[in-house]
Structure 1
Amino acid sequence: MDRFQTIAADVDAGQFRLLLKGELRQCAVEDPIVFQGVAHIDQNAQGGLALRFVCEAVTGPFDADDGLPEPPQGKAIAEHFHFDLSGINSDARLWTAERILVRLDRPSKDWGPLSKPDGFDVALGQIPKLATQHSTDIDETNRSHVAWIIKGELQSPRQWQPKAWTHEDREGPAWSIDHTKQGNTEIRFHAAADGFEAATRHFFRALSILTAQPLQHVCSATIIDGVERFSITPQRRHHEPKAILWIPPKFADGWDTLLVKWLESNRLADPQKEKSDGRAVQDVIYHYWYRLYKAYAVDIENGAQVVTSSIEGMAKRYFSHVAAALLTEREQEFTATQAALEQLDRKKHARTINILKGKIDNERRNRPDVGLLLDGLCHTKHITEQMVAAWGNLRNDAAHGDHLVKGSDDIQQFERDFFQCFELFKRLCLFAIGYDGPAQDFSVEGWPVLRNTIR
């Protein structure tokens, strides 16, 4: 991957430039507008890839006087407003970029009458992703490789030591994380060729959760079946909240174990659920975690609304079986209550009887409810009653749109409840993939590390 190192160094220094001879082709239409010309690609100060395409010729339904139509406001931008770029550089290598929203750079009509010569138009845009590929001598039919460059130095085991953090496995997935001279992080991942794309996605997302930030690579290189593919993805700015690490970096065994368990897990939704969308457990957990990360980045109150609903989603999806014994007990209570209601005088208590019967019927239709599922996990010692109580405190107000923090006196109790819920959510995620290693306990003051997450 020597070529990858060269490209990564240019991107990291903010000096990536590329000159291509090629075309811009309109997306999603049978008779597309196609501009032929020269593409100038320059990395700007924000790390983005700015396109300046000098048009030399055009085919398709393009009216030089009208130019390109602008997408309407208030609607999602349709595919036909985008263009795909393809072009050859000086090394005869093909580079491509998809779905570029372009505009034509023309003098203002206020300058007076225009006589537009051929080749005058210049198309401007921002490239979301630039890619190329070529054959390589590295050809392992049963194994594939990927490398990423991440901006900044990620927290990871042994991050302050000269030696990279590595996990070696000749048969299963293997990885390494090291810091570059430019102050960034290089991540390498190797796994079996079969299912490599899904394994790569799962690994990258697990690393996002471990480092407490949704990782975005600025460069990547993959080697699959003797073909090496490069891509450059401009860095998107986003607000970084204070990191809440599930497992501190000094517990390298925990990081290794979580990644192994995460990659091995093939669990789908609880078989007792009537409907399942078939999503992998890794994708579901990452979805919930990412929503929580973004909400917590705004403020802890928004985070509380998301974490309580995420607990509900995880419990219903993966843990309905834990309440089987409690369901039997509750059914006995329902039956006894209904028998008692039958003994009441309907003339005097008709309204009360109907309300109670309706409640019982509703409970039977919607069982097991989240409260019962969490009670079942309390019985198995996976979570505590304090966590369930905290979830109830926050969830009730959040579900009804009430203020979660009503005054300064509430802040301390609110934070206690929030981190009890955060611990509850984290445990549901870890139990869903079978992780039983060390992890921080956010339900206890000082956030101690439990050597075994399942108590």
Structure 2
Amino acid sequence: MTNELVAQLMARKFDLSLPRCELRQRESTVPRVYSGPGFIRQGADGTLILRMFAQEDADQGEQLMRLFGVEQTPGVLIPDTSLFDLSATDQSGDTWRANRVSIEETFGISTEIHATLAEIEKLAESNVRAKSASRSWFIPEAFELPWHIQTKSEKGISTDRFEFEDDAFAWKVRKVEGGRIASLTVKQTLLDPHAQHFLYALGMLSGRILEPLVSHQIEDCRHTTRIDVSCSRKPARLNGPLETTINRHHDAHRFLSCCLRNSHQSHPGAVANGQVVDQLSILYRFWYRIAKAQANDIENSSLVLSVAIEGILNEIFHSEHDTDVVFAEALHAAKPTIEQLEINERVRDSILRSLENSALPKPKDTMQRLKEQGALHQDHIVAWNALRNKGAHGALLEDATAELQKHFNRYFRCLDLFYRLAFVALGYRGHFVDRSASKWPTSQFPPPPKPSKAAANGIGTSK
């Protein structure tokens, strides 16, 4: 990744000459292919505009068919046959590609093609083989981390870097003008899915949905640069799980390490079709929904948060140990009697299905087990139950200070519950911001065990 490329894109002055371009129609037995010179130029709104001058012989009848004879497929808004894949070569001989491009044609002396590109990537080869695979990102967002490494420059000394390295991974994040540059190096395994996991984890840690404008990947001799101008300049935010002060950088690195190393760690319920699921991706998908909802609506975000907690419990934590064994045995014993009832068959089948579902593990049963294990407390369960019921049944939030405060207390207690579930799933142990307590103190996870009554009364302790 070059500073020049980032500077051009941020200033919206990206300009690329392409002596050779080819647009090939997708999903067609006889695809249309356009070839010729062109260029990509950035518009004032940041979009990338492709203009290409195709060298082709098309009579007026064929041109009219392209303009007005678009094939329509019932139920399909944009058929693949109306999209094209771009492959182009710049003046340095590097290849640029973009897929699923929608084009507009203008006919004259030659066929001129216009297209708006949301993203494009450059492929290049190097004569030097990289020792380790890596990916770096420029993120146009000034998010905060526990910066703990200093940089000396002509302007003085600034603490503006966040870095870590061990035997498997190395990552760096540094402040730059207009945003942050982050990078991950993978030493002993494949770059993916770890690179994507790192970006997910960094987003959760910083409390920002991170949308890179530019990414640069190095694997062996291959260099791939990707530009994505569809990223939002106003990304959604959510309170993160940890402090971002300098003295907490060890906790932040520990959290990222757990996300990379334990994303596929097996927990009760975290198995689908015999395969351990990608827990971090599940957690991030729910976290992303919560962040998006919180940015738009107070009441809707409460329902999204409570449902996200239920989703995590279902996807990762539910197990047969959460079943009420006594109740399940009673249902099993009652089943033959119900099957012999002389009632409408549909009614009988409905009763049997309802009874079978009632014996399945419930979110509150799973939370009760986690409470007994010390991961959460009763206030979390009470807050989740209230938030879930009010949101699911359409209860309106009263416009009164006291009621709003109660709502926010429940909301942030549930957000704290969400992060605690993430800590358990990922195996994180360390300090965190306890949003279930007054004034949001820094606490230890998992919480230290409470002293027994005997110890509290001084029984069995040395004097």
Residue 46 of structure 1, CA deviation? 2.5
Residue of structure 1 in register with 2:170 after alignment: 174
Counterpart for residue 82 of structure 1: 83
Which one of the candidate residues 266, 287, 296 is aligned to 1:298? 296
Question: How far is 1:234 from its partner?
Answer: 0.8
Q: Decide whether the 8 Å contact of 2:313 with 2:366 is kept in 1.
A: yes
Q: Which residue of 2 aligns with 1:103?
A: 104
Kept in 2, the 8 Å contact 1:219–1:233? The answer is: yes
* 2:139 corresponding residue in structure 1: 150
TM-score w.r.t. the length of structure 2 is 0.82
- Partner Cα distance (2:143, 2:414) in 1: 26
Q: Decide whether the 8 Å contact of 1:34 with 1:59 is kept in 2.
A: no
8 Å contact 2:21–2:37 — kept in the other structure? yes
Matching of residues 26-425 of structure 1 within 5 Å: 26-57=25-56, 63-68=62-67, 69=70, 75-105=76-106, 117-119=108-110, 121-141=111-131, 143-158=132-147, 161-169=158-166, 171-180=167-176, 182-192=177-187, 194-237=189-232, 239-250=234-245, 251-265=248-262, 266-268=264-266, 270-271=268-269, 278-321=276-319, 324=321, 327=323, 330-332=324-326, 362=355, 366-400=359-393, 402-408=394-400, 409-425=402-418
Work out whether residues 85 and 100 of structure 2, in 8 Å CA contact, stay in contact via their aligned partners in 1: yes
Distance 2:287 2:60 in 1: 46
* Cα 1:268–1:29 shift into 2, 3 Å: farther
* AA in 1 matched with 2:12: G
Q: Assess, with a 3 A threshold, how the Cα gap between structure 1 residues 173 and 59 changes in structure 2: closer, same or farther.
A: farther
The Cα offsets for residues 283-316 of structure 1, whole Å up to 9 and x where unpaired, read as: 1111111111111111121111111111112112
Aligned amino acid, residue 360 of structure 2: R
Matched-pair contact (CA < 8 Å) for 1:26–1:84: yes
For the structure 1 residues 32 and 381, does the alpha-carbon distance in structure 2 shift closer, same or farther, using more than 3 Å as the test?
Answer: same
State the distance in 1 between where 2:26 and 2:207 align.
Answer: 37
Structure 1 window deviating more from structure 2 (267-276 vs 289-298): it is 267-276
Unaligned ranges ≥5, structure 2: 151-157, 335-346, 449-463
**Residues 57 and 118 in structure 1, CA contact (< 8 A), matched pair in contact too:** no
Aligned length: 421
Instruction: Report SS of the residue matched to 2:52.
Output: strand
1:4-26 Cα deviation digits (max 9, x unpaired):
33322322332210111212111
Cα separation, 1, equivalents of 2:426 and 2:405: 32
Amino acid at match of 1:155: E
- Percent pairwise identity: 23
Checking the alignment, whether the CA contact within 8 Å between 1:212 and 1:244 is kept in structure 2 is: yes
> What does residue 346 of structure 1 align with?
none
Q: Residue 288 of structure 2 aligns to a residue in which SS? A: helix
Q: 3-state DSSP class of the match of 2:134?
A: strand
- Aligned residue for 2:13, secondary structure, equals coil
Instruction: State the match for 1:351 in structure 2.
Output: none
Over the residues paired in the alignment, what is the CA RMSD in angstroms?
3.3
Report the CA distance between 1:56 and its aligned residue. 2.5
Alpha-carbon distance change, 43 to 269 in structure 1, aligned in 2, over 3 angstroms: farther
Q: Deviations over 1:316-371 (max 9, x none)?
A: 232234x83x74xx43467689999xxxxxxxxxxxxx99xx69972775421111
Instruction: Please state whether the residue corresponding to 1:451 is helix, strand or coil.
Output: strand
TM-score by length of 1: 0.83
2:143 and 2:61 mapped to 1: Cα distance?
48
State the distance in 2 between where 1:149 and 1:213 align: 14
Aligned residue for 2:434? 441
Alpha-carbon contact 1:8-1:219 (below 8 Å) kept:
yes
* Counterpart Cα distance in 2 of 1:187 and 1:74: 42
Q: Which runs of 5+ in 1 are unaligned?
A: 106-115, 341-353
Task: Give distance in 1, aligned partners of 2:112 and 2:370.
Answer: 63
